[in-house]
């Protein structure tokens, strides 16, 4: 699409408008499918924390997933604090998905991102701890493989094997 835009010498505003139209088409289709399935939009908010409670709630979730070693880990620095408050306090505490499902999704995101194998190993271990067994994680990697490629899939498999070996 970018080459086509460059060939036609369309400006940035026109590109943004074209992208918005494509997105609106998809959004309209998605809204139709959801409506046909009885899902009313907009969806209700899923947040369960406030700016005052998200850090404590996030750290509680970290402890529930990773163990007591995470209690107070947010005190180790500002990035750890942001991680506890934002990733775990804002997102992991929301309704709609349980921790087991959220961990599987996080595992897949980290595998796709690549270059974060220590975190991927930790989240593989968390998945195992929450009941997503080794076979399930291997199946998840297999589903991601066409999108993330062999190198990242092989790295993810190594992380699962390492986490399973440490259990």
Quick: pLDDT tens for 50-102: 999 999 999 999 999 999 999 999 999 999 999 999 999 999 999 989 999 99
- pLDDT-derived band at 166 (thresholds 50, 70, 90) equals confident
pLDDT at 2 over 70: no
Please state, in angstroms and rounded to a whole number, the distance separating the CA atoms of residues 19 and 28.
Answer: 14
pLDDT at 10 over 50: no
- What are the residues whose beta carbons fall under 8 Å from the beta carbon of 90, sequence distance 6 or more? 47, 49, 54, 58
18-60, pLDDT tens digit by residue? 565 566 677 787 888 888 889 888 888 899 999 999 999 999 9
Please state, in angstroms and rounded to a whole number, the distance separating the CA atoms of residues 93 and 48.
Answer: 6
pLDDT at 3 over 50: no
pLDDT at 1 over 50: no
């Amino acid at each position: 699409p970018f080459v086509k835009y460059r060939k036609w010498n369309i400006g940035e505003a026109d590109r943004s408008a074209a992208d918005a139209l494509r997105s609106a088409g998809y959004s309209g289709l998605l809204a139709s499918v959801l409506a046909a399935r009885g899902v009313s939009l907009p969806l209700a908010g899923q947040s369960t924390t406030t700016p005052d409670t998200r850090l404590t709630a996030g750290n509680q979730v970290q402890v529930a997933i990773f163990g007591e070693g995470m209690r107070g880990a947010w005190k180790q620095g500002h990035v750890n604090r942001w991680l506890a408050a934002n990733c775990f306090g804002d997102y992991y505490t929301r309704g709609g998905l349980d921790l087991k499902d959220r961990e599987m999704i996080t595992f897949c995101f980290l595998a796709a991102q690549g270059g974060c194998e220590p975190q991927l190993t930790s989240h593989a271990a968390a998945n195992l701890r929450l009941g997503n067994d080794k076979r399930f994680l291997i199946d998840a990697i297999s589903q991601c493989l066409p999108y993330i490629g062999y190198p990242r899939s092989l790295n993810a498999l190594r992380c699962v094997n390492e986490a399973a070996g440490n259990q």
